[in-house]
Amino acid sequence: MNPLDRITLTGLRAFAHHGVLEFERTDGQTFVIDVTVHLALSDAAAGDDLAQTVHYGVLADQVVAAVERDPVDLIETVAERVAVTVHKPDAPIAVPFADVSVTILRGRLDVPRAGEVAVIALGSNLGDREHTLVAALEELDAVDGVSVVSSSPLIETIALRPAGADPDAPRYVNAVALIRTTLAPEQLLDVLHAIESAHGRERAERWGDRTLDLDIVSYGELEQQTERLTLPHPRAHERDFVLRPWLAVDPDAALPGRGPVAELLARLDAGSPQPPHPEHSDGAA
């Protein structure tokens, strides 16, 4: 079993009265819940039997009961490292989406609307990779002027070196998080660098092994190129390990100047090159 496998329960149904609108509260509606439990490396090492670690049936019952009570209870109810997505397929909205979903990250439902939405890519290929990424998200959320809105499942990927993919190098764990921030982009970069440093990040060689890498994939619709900070991230559009988790956390995501993430990923999967940016040439770097 891949030690980064996760248990995902999809399509659990619960009937409840949550919502901001009057009739949602009086009439109630169906909630459809997806739950992802990330297994720690130690759990996987202990044996191949997933049922030993988490009992699906018990988890499902607990999640449905928690949603019917109060979605905020969810995170207390289930395991610590769990991502829960609650869909409201009958939600009263006049937009052409199949449903409305909100990913609850460790109990956070109170994210302020102020500031810009920014997309952060996380990576680690040294140490307790999963733990580092989860800790980094908590530290990021704890910063004044930053709120983590949601985070993708963790994925494991082969290390990329300047010479290409290296199957012999320690593998990465990657994720993407959506944040809201009132910080300026450069301030946000400083915050990310401070969190990296706190986790022992060292910069020796280009694309060398690291305990933690935090990149700004995008900051609102901003496009800029300064010595310290290029936005969007100049290589995000060609990176599977960025686009795939980003799409998982936001199916409608688009990269400023490049277009929908779903299309960028489809071209990568097909082995087709990405079209050049309309306004600047893509360097080899």
Binding interface with Ca ion (CB under 5 A):
146, 213, 215
Of 88, 199, 201, 258, the catalytic one is 88
The CA distance from 86 to 67, in Å, is 9
Of residues 117, 116, 126, 105, the one with CA closest to residue 213 = 126
Of residues 83, 133, 87, 143, the one with CA closest to residue 108 = 83
> Per rule CB under 6 A, is residue 258 in the interface with ligand ATP?
no
> Per rule CB under 6 A, is residue 207 in the interface with ligand ATP?
yes
The CA distance from 23 to 37, in Å, is 33
In the chain, alpha helices (H): 22-27, 41-46, 50-53, 56-69, 74-77, 129-142, 185-198, 240-249, 261-270
Span from 74-82, 213-221, 261-269, 274-282 in contact with ligand ATP (CB under 6 A): 213-221
Q: Binding residue for ligand ATP (CB under 6 A) from 108, 171, 235, 267?
A: 235
User: Shortest approach of ligand ATP to residue 121 CB, angstroms?
Assistant: 8
Of residues 186, 179, 192, the one with CA closest to residue 114 = 179
> Per rule CB under 6 A, is residue 130 in the interface with ligand ATP?
no
Q: For ligand ATP, which is the closer residue by CB, 104 or 231?
A: 231
The CA distance from 282 to 57, in Å, is 50
Taking residues 160 to 199 in sequence order and writing x for each that binds ligand ATP by CB under 6 A, - otherwise, the string is -----------------------------x----------
Q: Binding residue for ligand ATP (CB under 6 A) from 78, 118, 143, 231?
A: 231
Q: For Ca ion, which is the closer residue by CB, 213 or 250?
A: 213
Per partner kind, with CB cut-offs from 5 to 8 A, the member of Ca ion, ligand ATP, none near residue 228 is: ligand ATP
Collapsing DSSP to helix, strand or coil, 162 comes out as coil
By rule CB under 6 A, what count of residues binds ligand ATP? 12
163 DSSP assignment: T
User: Shortest approach of Ca ion to residue 283 CB, angstroms?
Assistant: 16
**Intra-chain end-to-end CA distance of the chain, in Å:** 36
Look up residue 188 and give its two tokens. 């946000």
Annotated catalytic residue 88: yes
User: Shortest approach of ligand ATP to residue 260 CB, angstroms?
Assistant: 20
Catalytic residues: 88
Binding positions for ligand ATP, rule: CB under 6 A = 189, 203, 207, 213, 215-216, 228-231, 233, 235
